[in-house]
Amino acid sequence: MAAASSEEDVRRLADHLFRREAGKMISILTGVLGARRLELAEDAVQESLIRAMKHWPYHGIPDNPSAWLLRTAKNLALDHVRRESNFQRKQPAIVTEFERRLGESAPEVHDETEIADDQLRLMFVCCHPVLPPEVQSALALKTLCGLSPAEIATAFLASEAAIAKRLVRARQRLREHGVPFEIPAGPELPARLGGVLKILYLLFNEGHKASHGDEAIRADLCREAIRMAEQLAAHPAGDHPATHALLALMHLTAARIPGRLDDHGNLLRLDEMDRTKWDGELIHRGMTHLARSAAGDEASEYHLQAAIAACHTLAPDDASTDWPRILRLYDRMLAQQPNPVVALNRAVALARVEGPAAAIAAVEKIADPQRMEAYHLYHAVLGDLELRRARPCEASRHFERAQSLASTRPERELMARRIQDCAD
Amino acid sequence: MKREPIEHLLLFRHTLPHDDLSPEELQRALDATMAWFERLEAAGQLVAAKPLFDEGAMISRDTSGAITDGPYAETKESVAGYLILPPCEFDEAVAIAKTWPMLDHGGRVEIRPIAPECPSFQRLREMTAHAHA
């Protein structure tokens, strides 16, 4: 019979309950089954959600939906292990061990610290260096964030089949290399933590960049990247200045999203945005993390990027932006990682400090011009610099080039407006 | 001749194992289905509803007269649950079935009027009554 007898009694599931529980349950099951059986953990969890979907409409939501799901997933995993008769014959001790830890007599309540440990272990497994970076991101999105291959494909502008292949390859490699389900310790930890931060940074960027894809999925990517980074920061193994710097960068960048479009859905430049629309709560959180990131003497790339984001976010308007400070931060970033995209961004700051001519000279010195030639923002920046030094014809040509290279409609429309600016 | 409103049975068939849905999508489908059941119940349009396990058996007597089990019900499209609607027209039952949220995810519904009496038995009785008249 249906769940409730009166409207007031209707119980609703918490937002994102399934997604959150799926990541947690996969972590817990993988903790028992081992990283080589990641797929079994994923399948059991997926099936438990399907069972809920088939039964709860008739019987109502159980008192403790999370516990119901976990019990069901554990039973399914255990059934599967028992059915592998070959395995049972050869490895009876392991089956007994699984029964002890998954069976009805196993403790139902999991210690929150233990769950946090398992989730972090799974994060380190997904971001293991034996996996290529694009495989790491796909696996993290599938297992930790509960995105389907179709959703991941939308996020990465890849085909669903390609994503499915990546996931299969990921699980294979984890098995082949016998990747352990553990949080790295000792001298190994800093490098492995760096790997996890890099993936979270890429996921966030993928979600944030306005270049492609489904709006809702991209917002999910940003949210999930922040959620995982927060989990990391809350754990002793991940509570590192660079983690806080990354969180500061994510929050300060996400804070500006509400001002990114005008009322007609047009993409706005930073200097055009209505800064009162920016999210004060996120700015506050970002600044808190930025303060915590200052512990220690390391300045990671996230520290520098977060500091630049803070300069922009804290300036009440474009004119009062502390461009000299931003330029100094870009100088340090460029010294750390000579990279044409960083050099291009530095040129934008340089234009505001020393004027457009100096900036154009700097752009002309950027190494790897061939790669930059195909990058629409390279032409957009050059167009802006030429316009700033009152050369509308050159500017217009650059904006036209940028327009032809831009991959989304909002970006092409922004360039169309800039071409119009040149004619005025 | 117009039939009196009678009860209808809805048989919910799930055709796919929903593997391709993410947890978020599954939850949305669940929420929509729960709300659907609640709306029907609130409107007094729900006589009974129960889910069914996928596992089960199908038995029959083969040509030699022996009772055999199987073929098992096709699990890929097993009946996942049933619902009985209070007396209504067939078209109304179909209209209600068409709003079942799982239709969007490959689900299928079979709609069958519940005979108040076995139709052939009823016909037989009518014929007998005629013969005696």
For residue range A268-313, what is the model confidence (pLDDT) as tens digits?
888 889 999 999 999 999 999 999 999 888 889 999 999 999 999 9
Q: Which of A10, A56, A148 sits opposite B30 (nearest CB)?
A: A56
Looking at per-residue pLDDT, the higher value among B125 and B10 belongs to B10
For residue A178, what pLDDT band results from cuts at 50, 70 and 90? very high
Q: Does B38 touch chain A (CB under 8 A)?
A: yes
pLDDT of residue B72: 55
Mean pLDDT, range B43-62, rounded to an integer: 85
Q: Which of A46, A57, A146 sits opposite B34 (nearest CB)?
A: A57
A119-133, A187-201, A208-222: least confidently modelled range? A208-222
pLDDT of residue A278: 93
pTM for this predicted structure: 0.79
- Give the containing element (helix H, strand E) for A11: none
Mean pLDDT, range B98-119, rounded to an integer: 88
Mean pLDDT (chain B, rounded): 83
Q: What angle (nearest 5°) sits at the alpha carbon of residue A42, between those of residues A190 and A226?
A: 45
pLDDT exceeding 90 applies to what percent of chain A?
A: 60
pLDDT of residue A374: 86
Task: Show which residues on chain A lie within 8 Å of chain B, measured between beta carbons.
Answer: 1-5, 7, 10, 12-13, 16-19, 21-22, 46, 49-50, 52-59, 61, 146-151, 220
Q: Does the pLDDT at position B29 exceed 70?
A: yes
CA end-to-end distance (rounded Å), chain B: 22
Give how far A368 is from chain B: nearest CA, Å: 41
pLDDT of residue A4: 42
Give how far A154 is from chain B: nearest CA, Å: 13
pLDDT of residue A2: 43
Q: Does B17 touch chain A (CB under 8 A)?
A: yes
A-chain CB neighbours of B16 within 8 Å are: none
For residue A338, what pLDDT band results from cuts at 50, 70 and 90? confident
Among positive and negative, which fits the CA dihedral A332, A334, A337, A341? Answer: positive
A278, A270, A274, A257: which is closest to A207 by C-alpha?
A257
pLDDT of residue B18: 57
A-chain CB neighbours of B17 within 8 Å are: 50
pLDDT of residue A3: 42
Separation CA A171–CA A142 (nearest Å): 12
For residue A407, what pLDDT band results from cuts at 50, 70 and 90? confident
Who contacts B54 (Cβ-Cβ below 8 Å, separation ≥6)?
A: B75, B78, B80
Q: Does the pLDDT at position A8 exceed 80?
A: no
pLDDT of residue A220: 82
Mean pLDDT, range A373-387, rounded to an integer: 92
B-chain CB neighbours of A16 within 8 Å are: 24, 27
Looking at per-residue pLDDT, the higher value among A244 and B131 belongs to A244
Cβ separation of B23 and A55 shorter than 8 Å? no
Looking at per-residue pLDDT, the higher value among B76 and A354 belongs to A354
For residue B2, what pLDDT band results from cuts at 50, 70 and 90? low
pLDDT of residue A46: 93
Q: Does the pLDDT at position B131 exceed 70?
A: yes
pLDDT of residue A5: 43
3-state secondary structure of A100: helix
pLDDT digits (tens, 9 = 90+) for A125-164: 999 999 998 899 899 989 988 888 888 887 777 889 999 9
Q: Does B42 touch chain A (CB under 8 A)?
A: yes
Closest Cα in chain B to A45: B23
On the CB side of B62, how many CA atoms lie within 13 Å of its CA? 7
For residue B83, what pLDDT band results from cuts at 50, 70 and 90? very high
pLDDT of residue A114: 86
Who contacts A153 (Cβ-Cβ below 8 Å, separation ≥6)?
A: A159, A160, A162, A163
Separation CA A410–CA B16 (nearest Å): 38
Q: Does the pLDDT at position A9 exceed 60?
A: no
B-chain CB neighbours of A146 within 8 Å are: 22-24
For residue A192, what pLDDT band results from cuts at 50, 70 and 90? very high
Q: Does the pLDDT at position B76 exceed 60?
A: no
Mean pLDDT, range B50-64, rounded to an integer: 80
Mean pLDDT, range A354-372, rounded to an integer: 89
pLDDT exceeding 70 applies to what percent of chain A?
A: 94
Closest Cα in chain B to A48: B23
pLDDT of residue B15: 62
Cβ separation of A148 and B20 shorter than 8 Å? yes
Mean pLDDT (chain A, rounded): 88
Mean pLDDT, range B45-73, rounded to an integer: 78
Residues A213 and A238 sit within 8 Å (Cβ to Cβ): no
Looking at per-residue pLDDT, the higher value among A379 and B13 belongs to A379
Best A49, A145, A147 member to test B by mutation, with max B CBs in 10 Å, is: A49
Cβ separation of A1 and B41 shorter than 8 Å? yes
Separation CA A316–CA A336 (nearest Å): 30
Assign 3-class secondary structure to A27-65. Answer: HHHHHHHCHHHHHHHHHHHHHHHHHHHHHHHHHCCCCCH
Tracing tokens 């940028």 back to the chain, one arrives at: A402
Q: Which of B17, B21, B46 sits opposite A2 (nearest CB)?
A: B46
pLDDT of residue B19: 60
Pairs across A and B, CB distance < 8 A: 89
Residues A290 and A306 sit within 8 Å (Cβ to Cβ): yes
Best B14, B22, B105 member to test A by mutation, with max A CBs in 10 Å, is: B22
Separation CA A339–CA A304 (nearest Å): 14
Q: Does B104 touch chain A (CB under 8 A)?
A: no
Separation CA A231–CA A19 (nearest Å): 15
B-chain CB neighbours of A57 within 8 Å are: 30, 33-34, 36-37, 51, 81
For residue A123, what pLDDT band results from cuts at 50, 70 and 90? very high
Across-strand partners of B82?
B11, B50
Q: How far, CA to CA in Å, does A267 sit from each of A47, A277, A332? A: 42, 14, 30
pLDDT of residue A7: 44
Give how far B120 is from chain A: nearest CA, Å: 32
Give how far A7 is from chain B: nearest CA, Å: 8
pLDDT of residue B133: 65
Residues A344 and A369 sit within 8 Å (Cβ to Cβ): no
Closest Cα in chain A to B20: A148
For residue A339, what pLDDT band results from cuts at 50, 70 and 90? confident
B59, B54, B48: which is closest to B13 by C-alpha?
B54
Separation CA A267–CA A260 (nearest Å): 6
ipTM of the complex: 0.77
Residues A330 and A345 sit within 8 Å (Cβ to Cβ): yes
Separation CA A117–CA A120 (nearest Å): 5
Mean pLDDT, range B3-7, rounded to an integer: 86
Best B10, B13, B14, B38 member to test A by mutation, with max A CBs in 10 Å, is: B38
Q: Which of B20, B25, B38 sits opposite A3 (nearest CB)?
A: B38
Best A148, A151, A223, A224 member to test B by mutation, with max B CBs in 10 Å, is: A148
